[in-house]
Chain A
Amino acid sequence: MTTSALTWFARHEIRLAWREWLAMMTAGRRGRDRIAIIGLIVLAVFLHLPAYAVIGRFADLQAPLDKSSLIVITATIFLAWALMLSQAIESVTRVFYARADLDLIMSSPVTLANVFSVRIAAIALSVTAMALLLSTPFVDVLVIGGGIRWFAVYGVVIAIGLSAAAVAIAVTILLFRSIGPSRTRLVAQILAAIIGAGFVIALQIAAILSYGTLSRFSVLTSDKAAAFAPDADNIVWWPARAALGDGEALLLLLAGGLVLLGAVMVVFSARFADTAISASANAIPARRDSRTKAFRAGSRQQALRRKEFVLLRRDPWLVSQSLMQLLYLVPPALMLWRSFADSSAAIVLITPVMVMAAGQLAGGLAWLTISGEDAADLVATAPLPSSRVIRAKIEVVLIAIAVLFAPLVIALMFASPLQAAITAAGIITAAATATAIQLWFRVQARRSQFRRRQTSSRLATFAEAFSSIGWAATAALALAISLAALVSGLLTAAIVAATWTISPRRG
């Protein structure tokens, strides 16, 4: 394959990546490109505010740093890397399974290793580009507050983007080799979902066990962490030093990222072709469900509910999402458990976490049951009114939420009955609101489109997130300041009412 052909293929890959990204931003609707780009610019400008709040105070940091600062910066970079890794695993899986051009490429007279090297590079590029975009507000804040030396952060982002893409490709291909194509899809999805959250949650758990607080910074800035940390000239601190403007560390980091990506290209580009072939050829192996039970009697709604529960149980996306939610619940559950031993006031923090998690999970479940109906025609031609179909689906969402959260609420009841009652009310309200929003903004979609559900309606996504946050804040405030809770509750109700007013299903 000639250099010009490779350049042409690289352009093709970049165009595909750009269009996939644009389709995700515009929910696949034509004529919305300009709106999406303007929206992104507005969001980027808006993001400078939280960026300032989070990172503004670090702009004056100068090398050499004490160990605590080095630990905090390194942990933050590692968290960013974990999130990029998560996104890269998702991208690689999508390239294996979703691209419809593998047959075309593999039947063409090109050297597959070269073509797939370009594809690997394109994945790395798209992951890095997204990270650069998201890091811009933070870098801006640092540059404005601390000078141009902070531009070095972009270099760190590029280096960790390249290495995250390289590791993602290696991990995914090794998963293919060890557990086969169909399991890889599920495992990679779950991995991608939990990798980013795992690091933060692990820190929270350490913080709870050591200091009785949910703040992960208490671990990172502790004397114990400093005592365990290596010396200041250790390789571990290269990313932190590079971010602070150490040119040598930055060059080494970039070189490391490039070498890692190059190594992955050399080792895996040939296997990439084999893996892609097995992914496309070895569709989905037959999974048998050896149920010998007879058909069950019951009402039409019972049939619907049974079907929904079976599908939810067998949904890999939902499994990964639920795992995420359950992971997020581990720290509050741990706090609850500790609170039995010492009556820490920090137990109050459990309520908003649980309410927020319930709202988010209910939103996902409601999308799957209400919008993600794979046999929409069948259900629509069934002899029962659509209102009864919707009711059965809502019941499924609320039952699932009740089953997941009831044990935690019951446990909370032993520690504080009032808090348990407020938490239960918050969970019910948040779940009902998220379900209602999904109902108002419902669209007909395949369950497999779950990953992109946020893009079908940005408004629904934001409304769902804001209402969950609002109800979580209301529940937390109800435990301490009644008047503030009332204000927060009214504001959240106003958000929900405004969402209803502009929803397509009004009336």
Chain B
Amino acid sequence: MNSDESALQLRGLTKRFDRLAVDALDLTIRTGEFYALLGPNGAGKTTTLRMVAGLLRPDAGTVSVLGIDALNDPVAAKQITAWVSDEPMIYDKLTPLEYLEFVAGLWGIDPAVSEPSARDLLASLGLEPHLHERCEGFSKGMRQKVALAGALVHDPRLIILDEPLTGLDAVSARHVKGLLGERVRAGCTVIMTTHILEVAERMADRIGVIASGRLVAEGTLAELRQQNGKNDTSLEDMFIALVDTEAAAA
């Protein structure tokens, strides 16, 4: 695969804090793919995604977003990327509609396009009755949905989500999964970390397992089963086996 076909290409991505968090990571995600990045706590998932989103500068390596060198031209890469973290960062004193107006303005989207899009997004996430309410009284799930709507309002081509389903009830989680599925079908690429393995199992085209900052397994669910040598095993069993093996090796 060449870099033109990939939505995201990481080569030798390295980040060290007190210890090595991401260790010369190579990763390629295809355009229009739903990719789930799994790993135990402290494996380096969030650090990797924060480097892709431009929130952290890597110590070494390259990041290419749809052919754009994100380290040399971060503004161009950010224009087509969206980032949603597990802790929704929104403004308490703005209403959801005001928040989306701000995000659209920040991405330079024509209001004639962004306003209907914002209303549709908020409606599809069940937030229509709360359009003009300030976010300060919202539950964590509602805040997460506002943050997700904000990430989608500028129509990104690469969506990076770090534990987006944390704190969502079953109905809200289904809304979010539905919305992400629609985006993937429309050609958008999604990379998501999650501890809910059932979501990865059901939604992801491919799954990557990261441990100690390195990719220890990657493929479709069937490929992972094949690598594991057991065709009837669950993702959870495979994940635990992989992580245990990696921990023993470390």
Task: Tell me the A residues contacting B by CB distance below 8 Å.
Answer: 283-291, 294-300, 302-304, 306-307, 310-311, 314-315, 374-385, 447-448
Contacts and interface: CB of A to CB of B under 8 A. Distances in A.
B91 A307 contact: yes
27 contacts: A283-B137, A286-B137, A287-B137, A288-B132, A290-B132, A294-B111, A295-B115, A296-B111, A297-B110, A300-B106, A307-B94, A311-B93, A314-B93, A314-B134, A374-B91, A375-B90, A378-B89, A378-B106, A378-B150, A380-B55, A381-B55, A381-B78, A382-B106, A382-B107, A383-B79, A385-B75, A447-B92
Contacts of B95: 288-289, 291
Contacts of A382: 78, 106-107
Contact of B102 (A290, A299, A307, A380): A307
A469 to B, nearest CB: 32
A306 B105 contact: yes
A315 B93 contact: yes
Q: Which 3 A-B pairs have the closest CB atoms?
A: A303-B105, A295-B111, A314-B93
B102 A384 contact: no
A286 B134 contact: yes
A295 B89 contact: no
A497 B167 CA distance: 48
Contacts of A381: 53-55, 78, 81-83
Nearest to B131: A288
A375 B92 CA distance: 10
A287 B115 contact: no
Interface of B: 53-55, 75-76, 78-79, 81-83, 85, 89-95, 98, 101-108, 110-111, 114-115, 118, 130, 132-134, 136-137, 150
A450 B110 CA distance: 34
Contacts of B110: 297
Contact of A295 (B55, B78, B118): B118
Contacts of A374: 89-92
A103 B195 CA distance: 28
Contacts, number: 111
Contacts of B55: 377, 380-381
Q: Which of A287, A304, A379, A385 has the most CB of B within 10 A?
A: A287
A297 B150 CA distance: 17
Nearest to A386: B74
Contacts of A304: 105-106
B105 A289 contact: no
Contacts of A294: 111, 115
Contact of B93 (A291, A299, A310, A377): A310
A299 B115 CA distance: 16
A63 to B, nearest CB: 55
Nearest to B119: A295
B94 A311 contact: yes
A287 B111 contact: no
A356 B94 CA distance: 32
Contacts of A448: 92
Contacts of B133: 286-289
Contact of B134 (A289, A296, A298, A307): A289
Contacts of A311: 91, 93-94
B107 A383 contact: yes
B106 A379 contact: yes
A298 B104 CA distance: 10
B108 A300 contact: yes
Contact of A376 (B54, B89, B137): B89
Contact of B137 (A285, A298, A375, A379): A285
Nearest to A311: B93
B90 A300 contact: no
A50 B81 CA distance: 57
Nearest to B130: A286
Q: Which of A315, A376, A378 has the most CB of B within 10 A?
A: A378
A377 B90 CA distance: 10
B139 to A, nearest CB: 9
Nearest to A283: B137
Contacts of B93: 310-311, 314-315
A383 B75 contact: yes
Nearest to B94: A310
B75 A384 contact: yes
A378 B54 contact: no
Contacts of B111: 294-297
B78 A383 contact: yes
Q: Which of B55, B89, B115 has the most CB of A within 10 A?
A: B89
A380 B54 contact: yes
Contacts of A299: 108
A375 B132 contact: no
